[in-house]
Amino acid sequence: MPGRTLPTLTQAEVESHNSKKSCYVTIGTNVYDVTDFVESHPGGPDLILEYAGKDITAILKDEISHKHSESAYEILEEYQTAFLVTDKLAPNGNVQKKVADSQINDKVNNYVHPRTGMSCEEDLSKETDIANDYKEHKFLDLNKPLLMQVWCGGFSKRFYLDQVHRPRHYKGGASAPLFGNFLEPLSLTPWWVVPMIWLPAVAYGVHLASQGFDTKLGLATSFGGGVLLWTLIEYIMHRCLFHLDEYVLSPIYYKAVANWVSSYLPDNRVGITLHFLLHGVHHYLPMDKYRLVMPPTLFVVLATPFWKLAHSVFFWDWYLATAVYCGGIFGYICYDLTHYFLHHQNLPLWYKDLKKYHLAHHFLDYELGFGVTSRFWDQVFGTELVTVVKTA
């Protein structure tokens, strides 16, 4: 790598850059200005801000938190802004020549997926060179409305699936244009919209259902059954609707059925465009925080048939059907919030494995690992994702 000149900073100067507006971190004598990366960090901004103005050597190698891979160090190199003054490097106003740091070269030898070229969650936040990406892949120009490009692109299903599952990162995690017209706001949903709209609806539904139960235990049991039922619906929808790609059911148990249903994603622009709108855009731009939860308009479309299904299954008791349905909607709320936080927040220790599991679904193998709130149904249906790590 060609050298470049960098200024020197004292420890006190580095420590003064400890906020979201100006965030510096160090590794040894290397100083990095990661201000622009704070919001895009897959573990959430709070984790970076916790170490603002400090040395991050230990946390990068921490097995419990997340041992960072080669790509994390490569991203960090792009943000180097200065050298830290030490006893061997006195502050004299002169600039220093940038050299390779042995700590930066101490990289993790993780498995790299041959198709995506990705090895860890930091890869999801590598900002895409939009011009070069379009020139190289001839897929979508991230500066233009995406949906019409998919509709008019004439892509084959094979080419589309290959490209849409190679994650891109748009300008610091902002939202690339999807419609490019008055429909654009309908595709952008902050995470807090989900509980704000649907929790009151669930509370009202539970109130109505409670009038048909003699005991609170019966109501709670029916509601809890709906929550458990949601976990199965979550898996089925993610596997059989959002990933109507190659196999819809596990080839281990249902190969004949899977081969038959795999033809259900039509190799034409109607099927491909609907696939992109439902879930493809999320795999294409997985760190877009405004397309991580389901827009209310789309949720109403998908939830309405389940209302009718619940009352058809439990046709003899309207109150029971309503309680089960409300439990399912509450399960959905938990799912959507979990999905957002898996992508954008630092999670408690018991959630870290779930975060790694879901992000591996994005950067390792999108044909496995369909459980978001749990991997239970992946284990049942033989679609559990087991990550592979090379040993040196």
Binding residues: 41, 68, 238, 243, 279, 282-283, 339, 343, 358, 361-362
Please report, in range form, the residues annotated as the binding site for heme.
Answer: 41, 68
The 3-state DSSP class for residue 337 equals: helix
Task: Return all residues near 162 (Cβ < 8 A) that are at least 6 apart.
Answer: 115
Nearest CA to 366 out of 28, 16, 7, 124 is that of 124
Containing 82, the helix (H) or strand (E) segment is: strand 80-84
Q: Could you give phi then psi for residue 313, rounded to 5 degrees? A: -70, -45
Containing 240, the helix (H) or strand (E) segment is: none
Provide the b/e sequence for 358-369 (b: ≥16 CB within 10 Å): bbbbbbbbbbbb
* Alpha-carbon gap, residue 175 to 169, rounded angstroms: 9
Nearest CA to 303 out of 326, 334, 283, 280 is that of 326
Q: Token pair 């399960």 is at which residue?
A: 331
Please report, in range form, the residues annotated as the binding site for Zn(2+).
Answer: 238, 243, 279, 282-283, 339, 343, 358, 361-362
Number of Cβ atoms within 10 Å of the Cβ of 60: 21
* Alpha-carbon gap, residue 70 to 122, rounded angstroms: 9
Provide the b/e sequence for 308-329 (b: ≥16 CB within 10 Å): eebbeebeeeebbbbbbbbbbb
Query: Are 358 and 119 in contact, with CB atoms under 8 Å apart?
Result: no
What tokens does 35 get? 């201000």
Q: Could you give phi then psi for residue 363, rounded to 5 degrees? A: -100, -5
Task: Return all residues near 321 (Cβ < 8 A) that are at least 6 apart.
Answer: 310, 311, 313, 314, 315
* Alpha-carbon gap, residue 210 to 233, rounded angstroms: 24
